Structures are given as C-alpha cells and as structure tokens.
Amino acid sequence: MPIHTQVRTRPATGLVIIFLLGHGFALWSCGGSGARQQDAAQTDVEPAITVQADSAWTQVAQDWDSFCVQAGTLMAKRTSECTLAQPTASTVRQPFCDSIAASILAGRVSFVDANSQPCLDSLQSMSCDNVLPNVATSDFLPVLCPQVLQGELKLDDSCTQDEDCADPTHLFCLLIASCTGTCQPRPGLGQSCSYGGCASGLICATDSGTCVPTSSEGQPCGGSQGVCDPWLVCDASGTCTKYAGHSCAQGEWFPCGLFMRCEGDDAGAKTCAAFRKLGETCVPGAAECLNNTFCSPADGGGICTEHARLGEACGPVLQGAEIIESNECMDGYCDRQLGALSGTCQPFRQLGEACLSDAECDLGAQRRCASGVCRSGACR
C-alpha cells in the first residue's frame, strides 16, 4: 500500500490465534483491549461495515485496512518463526481491522498513516521475547504500535473500544454487557478489574478479579503474585515455568498453553510436549501436528501435512466412515457442493459480497454472512 505523510481526518459522523495461535486457537473480541463482557444474544451488536470499500469507505479507512492486513500477516509470520510453527496463511486479517475502521468512519479514531511504515519495520525486527507476550491479545497492533492511531474521545465520552479514547495508556473503554461504553481510568495494581482495562504491565486475574503483575519465567505467580506469560505455567510451587514436561490432562482448555500439546495414553501420566512439525510422523486423530498442518494417513500411520492452499482440495479426512482429521484451507474457505464432504479452497468473499454461510466471510476476522451478504461482526 502507498504510505502517506500526513494525518488524515474523518468526517464527524458521530474489537482471540484469530488470528490462529498455537493449535487451532482463536481469540474473539468486541471492541478494544478493555472489557469483553458482551452477551452473544445482544441486539445492539450490528455490522460496523456492510458494503464494499470502493462504494462507501473513505480513503483513510481503505488505507487503514490495507495497513492492518499487512501488519496482521507480518505478526502471524513472526509468531510462526518464534514458535517454530508452520507458516500461516498468506493473508491474515485481525478482528480489530474492521472495528478500528468503523471507529475511523465514525470519527472516534484518526489513522496516522505517516507512522505505519515505521510500525511495520518495528514488527519485522522485533525479538521473539517481545513477540510472544503479545500473541495472546486479540488486538496486538494498537499495543505494539500505538503511534498509528489517535483516539478522539475524552473521559466519560461514549466509546466502543479502548483505541477510541484519547489517552489509551490511562483510559479504557468500559463496556458492561454492551458494545457501547464510556472512556474511564484504567484500574491499577490491586484494584478491581471486573470489566478489564488494567494499566500497562498488569493483567486481570480471574481468581481475584483484581489487577496483578504479569510474571516471567522463575517469578512468583498465583493470587496477587501475578499471572504467568502466555507460554508459561504456574507450577505447584507458585513459580512460572515452561510447559515442557509439565503434567496435564487431555480435554482441558489449553492445558499446555498456546504452543504445546498434552501427550500420553489413557493408562499413563500425560505431560506437555511439542507439536510435531511438517513432514514428521504422527497418529491420525491425535491432534499432534502444528497449527496449519494436519495428520494425513500414510503407511499405517500419518505424516504432518500442510493445510490446503487456494485451488486445492479440502475437507474431512476419513478412516472408514469416521472423520479423523480435517484438511482446512489456509487462505480461504472450503467450497463444498451440496451433499459433498470435500471441496476446493476459494478466496474469502469481501464485505458486501453475496454469501451463503459464515465460513465464506472469514470467521477468524469476525465476519459473518447476514441476510445473504458478508458483514463485519465488529461492534458499531
């Protein structure tokens, strides 16, 4: 995309992976990095963007969207490099791309596109120690590159996400069971965070409901001591340690974090182990392969194989009449004929284009098929 040199302004017209992270991990959000208390059945959640860019978006929204996709794709690539995972899809769109675009169109946020290329450069050169702490947040870009966005709203102003607020370091969008809230001060260490929004360097502990420090390897954890970084686990001694070799239970929600799997048979102890890489042997149906790969049956066992690309065959992998694996599409959706199990990978449909199912509209970016048209699932 072309990089412009000015701050664009908008007409005052009055938001895990998923990117996919680890092994089939998706993060969903409503609004910014503050509260995520939305009820899925709410009626005030409406598509933020419902038509194609060339007919309704302002130039700044198009520029933001292009930049956001570049940044999301680059961050996904860096995450894969840092976790030795298989490369991600060639194009990655984060959920917050649409939600920020909606705020730009509504006049709540400015896109400072002069700072977009420096942001891309910084993401490219970022060390893995800095990449990994941010892969568990659904809107990493405003965190890592705050200079590309400028919020326009003050304390107590109505907002939809943290980035709407003029000082997101000290203010967050307090959302209480709604997609519209107000800009409020961020809670500090030990303060209640029932609706998120902890100050920088803090995280809301689910057990205490208060803001606690984030803890790195070897640091204390649990209760008010802190919450371990995403690739670490709080062991029995109350210390953050690596998942490798840590006892786990299959069936739990990410018992080995984002980047490892729970290995072991039903009769023995189970421990956290690395996913198998592209080309390595695997057991079909055991979920052993890295993200963006699946265990393709071969010679009585299996081989970790890359998911299908555009134009390639996709769909479930059968063993007899049982589905044991799924060869999904890395870059689009699996277009299946009525009554058929397999299909062909096709590009995602764009906003405003006709659709028959949500899968056609890029679920990872919170896009949905509503009334036969692809729409953004971001809060208005």
Residues 290-313 have pLDDT tens digits of: 888 999 998 888 999 999 999 999
pLDDT higher than threshold 70 for residue 21: no
Here the tokens at position 152 are 């326009």
Here the tokens at position 87 are 């490369």
Question: What secondary structure letter does DSSP report for 252?
Answer: S
pLDDT in the model for residue 190: 92
Give the residue-averaged pLDDT of 47-67.
Answer: 65
Amino acid residing at 300: G
Q: Which residue has the tokens 């204390």?
A: 220
pLDDT higher than threshold 60 for residue 198: yes
Residues 118-138: pLDDT tens digits?
999 999 998 887 787 676 555
Distance CA 193, CA 262 (A): 31
Exposed e or buried b for every residue in 252-261, given b needs 16+ CB within 10 A?
eebbbbbbbb
Question: Which strand (E) or helix (H) includes residue 73?
Answer: helix 59-83
Distance CA 211, CA 289 (A): 36
pLDDT in the model for residue 59: 87
Q: Which residue has the tokens 């048209």?
A: 373
Lowest-pLDDT range of 29-33, 163-167, 171-175, 285-289: 29-33
Here the tokens at position 260 are 């490892």
pTM above 0.85, yes or no: no
Distance CA 260, CA 271 (A): 10
pLDDT in the model for residue 13: 29
Give the residue-averaged pLDDT of 10-16.
Answer: 29
Q: Using the Cα atoms of residue 115, residue 230, residue 251 and residue 328 in order, give the sign of their dihedral.
A: positive
Here the tokens at position 358 are 């949500």
- Give 153's strand partners: 165
pLDDT higher than threshold 70 for residue 376: yes
Sequence-ordered list of residues with C-beta below 8 angstroms from that of 276, at least 6 positions apart, any chain: 282, 288, 289, 290, 304
